[in-house]
Amino acid sequence: ADPAVLADARAHQERLTKPRGALGVLEDVAVRLAGAAGRSPAPMPSPAALAIFAGDHGVHAQGVTPWPQEVTTQMVGNFLAGGAVANAFAAQVGASVTVVDVGVAADLDDAPGLLRRKVAYGTADLASGPAMTTAQAVAALHVGIETARALIEDGARCLITGDMGIANTTASAALICAFTGTSPEEATGRGTGIDDETLQRKIDVVRRALAANGLEPTSHEPAGAAAGLRVLAAVGGLEHAAIAGFILGGAAARVPVILDGVIAGSAALAAAALAPAVVDHCVAGHRSAEPGHRAALDHLGLRPLVDLELRLGEGTGGLLAHPLVCSAVRVMHDVATFDAAGVTEKEI
Amino acid sequence: ADPAVLADARAHQERLTKPRGALGVLEDVAVRLAGAAGRSPAPMPSPAALAIFAGDHGVHAQGVTPWPQEVTTQMVGNFLAGGAVANAFAAQVGASVTVVDVGVAADLDDAPGLLRRKVAYGTADLASGPAMTTAQAVAALHVGIETARALIEDGARCLITGDMGIANTTASAALICAFTGTSPEEATGRGTGIDDETLQRKIDVVRRALAANGLEPTSHEPAGAAAGLRVLAAVGGLEHAAIAGFILGGAAARVPVILDGVIAGSAALAAAALAPAVVDHCVAGHRSAEPGHRAALDHLGLRPLVDLELRLGEGTGGLLAHPLVCSAVRVMHDVATFDAAGVTEKEI
């Protein structure tokens, strides 16, 4: 972020016809996005484009979720038919929806709104070794980067991350442990809703995944891009890697990226390991009910805008936040200053 | 709320292509609004209309705020010129903005977007006796009811409360103490930003207001409509009374009302005392930084949708929540069921 632009943005906020700081967290968002954009006010983050990256997971075989793996493919069909919650929320905020097959374990037919960019038919089981080869992780990163580039070329001025992948909160928990030093017990949650027995199994799977890949949690995060890529390939999913690339692609174009839930948060840890400055371009759309998400956002230094116990993924939390981000930026464009409006400032 | 409709709405949520409960608080909003509307799904709460009720306060003379009283009038001008934060947020969500002079201490000229419904040139000083006569409070309630009716006639399907009135958080604190039994120390906050000395003075003013009006906090809320009206007249503001009427008017037409911050929360306590069922039609748009707001929302049993440390009023928090409320309801209209989408439910 540009320090001079940050200072300009802060000074502009002080002159607007409202008590200082009265917009709370939204003032920080407006200032951060100005710094990231390199100009104050930041351009309006609209229109928005949601990309839902879909992938399957070898770890599904470990029984970490009651949902059958084919639900990933079925939900891709639901997104393309416009019947999912993400479609409803996207319609509400005027965002486009693009589904990207980066790793679904089935062949998908061509369809409007679907990008067929399959890197593999799902990942390998992270509980017993690397989920992806380095080449696969890099390929998935590139899918994300190229998706961001294409959506921005088509006019998007805000990117929203989405995901679909049965069992993908297991990979997210492992990523969060590896990148932040959080323990498997703390980072692992109930995902879309699992019972106590399944939760214990899921925690054990995360622990075994870290051990099998030489990534036992420590207080030291893996340093640098090479280590970041190794972690991502070892315990990530193809959609996590693609979302990390999507963040890199948005940041490279200075277009803000609204992160959805725990999948996006864990992918953002990977993106930040590859290129720390990308975090400046990220807004945490929401905090999900998944406990690891808090650890991820704390590590990234991001404060979520929506906190309503959602645990759906798909980009739903990011979509809900989009009007809030627009409102924060719009204040800098539209609101009168005390001088211009003839409003008296308070007596200090 | 209609219990059969509430049950229908809950059952419908269970059939949608998402894990049960995955939309967290938004599922409750959609179900509550269906019950309030008397049909499931509830009608889309759009378009929205913001009404900013403006009034002045005799208690300003007690030095409870560093802002000069004329800022109320100046900000009305700013709203009508489109230069305030409320205008920017309203533009973002497509809401209309109507300013209602229910008690500004100056004569205002006719202007597009202004309803001239002045009941008095501000209230009397609540620290030494009733702020309003009963007749004034009733007249201001009617202004709110009529404003709601007119906006709904013009096509509004969601009402958003707004306020402008220098010193009005002092009246809100007194209302919250009287209606909920919260102490002046707990209910009184820094409003738009005051120093420690002013805060102590403000707490003392609230304490004296309760004593002067025979409303010392107890664990018992004043029961019934007559007591509610007495409290409202004794320590409320003209804009508080009008907002209470606005809530009554929305509820009477079964149109949802999104409450803004602490002014709206305290006015809703009065509305609920007059007619408890109106709370079914209310959504708490946000929780402000003002401590009494939490007590008010807890008393009303409402959970805020946005919680971002805003402390501006004007309707800004209510406007931010509008797309969230629309998204919650839209799910019930748009999202496919498991059966219809051919998505497999989880193995239980």
3-state secondary structure of A163: strand
Query: Does the distance separating the beta carbons of B311 and A335 come in below 8 Å?
Result: no
Residue of chain B whose alpha carbon sits nearest to that of A92? B327
Angstrom distance (rounded) from CA B279 to CA B307: 20
Range A178-189 average pLDDT: 96
Alpha carbon of A222 to those of A37, A173, A242, A278, B153: distances in Å? Answer: 29, 16, 20, 17, 61
pLDDT-derived band at A345, boundaries 50, 70, 90:
confident
Positions of E strands within chain B: 48-55, 96-103, 114-116, 158-164, 257-259, 282-284
Q: Which of A25, A308, A342 sits opposite B309 (nearest CB)?
A: A25
Residues of B identified as active-site:
314
- Comparing CA positions, the residue from B335, B328, B19 lying closest to residue A190 is B19
The whole-angstrom distance between A221's CA and the closest CA on chain B is 30
Query: Does the distance separating the beta carbons of A310 and B23 come in below 8 Å?
Result: yes
Chain B positions in Cβ-Cβ contact with residue A330 (cut-off 8 Å): 88-89, 91-92
- Comparing CA positions, the residue from A236, A53, A266, A226 lying closest to residue A130 is A236
Instruction: Put the strands of the sheet holding A114-116 in their side by side order.
Output: A114-116, A96-103, A48-55, A158-164, A257-259, A282-284
- Comparing CA positions, the residue from A162, A192, A168, A175 lying closest to residue A100 is A162
Chain A positions in Cβ-Cβ contact with residue B342 (cut-off 8 Å): 74, 77
Chain A positions in Cβ-Cβ contact with residue B341 (cut-off 8 Å): 74, 77-78, 81, 83-84
Angstrom distance (rounded) from CA A298 to CA A318: 17
Please give the pLDDT value at position A222. Answer: 62
Neighbours of A221 (CB within 10 A): 18
pLDDT-derived band at B307, boundaries 50, 70, 90:
very high
Neighbours of A220 (CB within 10 A): 7
Angstrom distance (rounded) from CA A164 to CA B17: 13
- Comparing CA positions, the residue from A333, A338, A289 lying closest to residue A309 is A289
Backbone angles phi, psi at A49, to 5 degrees: -125, 125
Q: Which of A17, A25, A348 sits opposite B78 (nearest CB)?
A: A17
Angstrom distance (rounded) from CA A329 to CA A325: 6
Instruction: Put the strands of the sheet holding B158-164 in their side by side order.
Output: B114-116, B96-103, B48-55, B158-164, B257-259, B282-284
Checking if the pLDDT of A219 tops 60, the result is no
- Comparing CA positions, the residue from B257, B227, B271 lying closest to residue B318 is B257
Angstrom distance (rounded) from CA A5 to CA A37: 9
Please give the pLDDT value at position B163. Answer: 98
Please give the pLDDT value at position A347. Answer: 65
Query: Between chain A and chain B, how many beta carbons pairs sit less than 8 Å apart?
Result: 205
Give the ipTM of the model, two decimals please. 0.96
Chain B interface includes A26 (CB < 8 A): yes
Chain A interface includes B307 (CB < 8 A): yes
- Amino acid symbol at A238: L
DSSP secondary structure string, B7-57? HHHHHHHHHBSS-TTTTTHHHHHHHHHHHHHTSSSPPP--SEEEEEEEE--
The tokens describing A286, both together, are: 């929401």
Helices (H), chain A: 3-15, 25-37, 71-81, 85-93, 134-153, 168-180, 184-187, 196-212, 224-235, 238-252, 262-274, 291-300, 316-334, 338-341
Residue range(s) occupied by CATH 1.10.1610.10 in chain A: 3-42+333-341
Q: What angle do CA A19, A20, A21 make, to 5 degrees?
A: 110
Range A26-31 average pLDDT: 98
pLDDT-derived band at A192, boundaries 50, 70, 90:
confident
Those residues whose C-beta lies under 8 Å from the C-beta of residue B155, and which sit 6 or more positions away, are B47
The pLDDT tens digits for A313-322 are 999 999 999 9
Range B35-41 average pLDDT: 97
The pLDDT tens digits for B157-213 are 999 999 999 999 999 999 999 999 999 999 999 988 899 999 999 999 999 999 999
Q: What angle do CA B185, B186, B189 make, to 5 degrees?
A: 85
Q: What angle do CA A211, A216, A217 make, to 5 degrees?
A: 150
User: Are A59 and A125 spatial neighbours (Cβ–Cβ below 8 Å)?
Assistant: yes
Residue range(s) occupied by CATH 3.40.50.10210 in chain A: 48-326
- Domain spanning B3-42+333-341, CATH class: mainly alpha
Query: Does the distance separating the beta carbons of A312 and B71 come in below 8 Å?
Result: no
Q: Are strands A48-55 and A96-103 parallel, antiparallel or unpaired?
A: parallel
From chain B residues 271-290, the ones with a CB under 8 A of any chain A CB are 289
Range B278-285 average pLDDT: 98
Residue range(s) occupied by CATH 3.40.50.10210 in chain B: 48-324
Chain B interface includes A338 (CB < 8 A): no
- The percent of residues above 90 in pLDDT, for chain B, comes to 93
Please give the pLDDT value at position B346. Answer: 76
Those residues whose C-beta lies under 8 Å from the C-beta of residue B52, and which sit 6 or more positions away, are B79, B86, B97, B98, B99, B100, B162, B163, B164, B314, B315
Checking if the pLDDT of A348 tops 60, the result is no
Kindly tell me the sign of the dihedral angle through the C-alpha atoms of B212, B218, B222, B228. Answer: positive
User: Are B75 and A338 spatial neighbours (Cβ–Cβ below 8 Å)?
Assistant: no
Residue of chain A whose alpha carbon sits nearest to that of B340? A83
Alpha carbon of A298 to those of A183, A186, A295: distances in Å? Answer: 15, 14, 5
The tokens describing A157, both together, are: 């001025």
Angstrom distance (rounded) from CA B86 to CA B52: 9
Range A98-103 average pLDDT: 98
Those residues whose C-beta lies under 8 Å from the C-beta of residue A4, and which sit 6 or more positions away, are none
Residues of A identified as active-site:
314
Query: Does the distance separating the beta carbons of B289 and A344 come in below 8 Å?
Result: no
Query: Does the distance separating the beta carbons of A19 and B336 come in below 8 Å?
Result: no
- Comparing CA positions, the residue from A248, A266, A91 lying closest to residue A174 is A266
Query: Does the distance separating the beta carbons of A89 and B330 come in below 8 Å?
Result: yes
Query: Does the distance separating the beta carbons of B65 and A346 come in below 8 Å?
Result: yes
Backbone angles phi, psi at B53, to 5 degrees: -90, 125
Chain B interface includes A339 (CB < 8 A): no
Please give the pLDDT value at position A1. Answer: 83
Whose tokens are 């998944």? That residue is: A290
Chain B interface includes A310 (CB < 8 A): yes
User: Are A3 and A31 spatial neighbours (Cβ–Cβ below 8 Å)?
Assistant: no
Chain B positions in Cβ-Cβ contact with residue A335 (cut-off 8 Å): 83-85, 87-88
The whole-angstrom distance between B218's CA and the closest CA on chain A is 32
The whole-angstrom distance between A341's CA and the closest CA on chain B is 6
State the CATH architecture for B48-324: 3-Layer(aba) Sandwich (3.40)
From chain A residues 29-68, the ones with a CB under 8 A of any chain B CB are 65-68
- The percent of residues above 70 in pLDDT, for chain B, comes to 98
Those residues whose C-beta lies under 8 Å from the C-beta of residue A32, and which sit 6 or more positions away, are A1, A6, A280, A283
**Which of A168, A288, A308 would you mutate first to test chain B, the one with the most B CBs within 10 A?**
A308
Range A94-115 average pLDDT: 98
User: Are B194 and B229 spatial neighbours (Cβ–Cβ below 8 Å)?
Assistant: no
Checking if the pLDDT of B263 tops 80, the result is yes
Angstrom distance (rounded) from CA A146 to CA A184: 33
What does CATH list as the number for A48-326? Answer: 3.40.50.10210
DSSP state of A59: G
User: Are A118 and A104 spatial neighbours (Cβ–Cβ below 8 Å)?
Assistant: yes
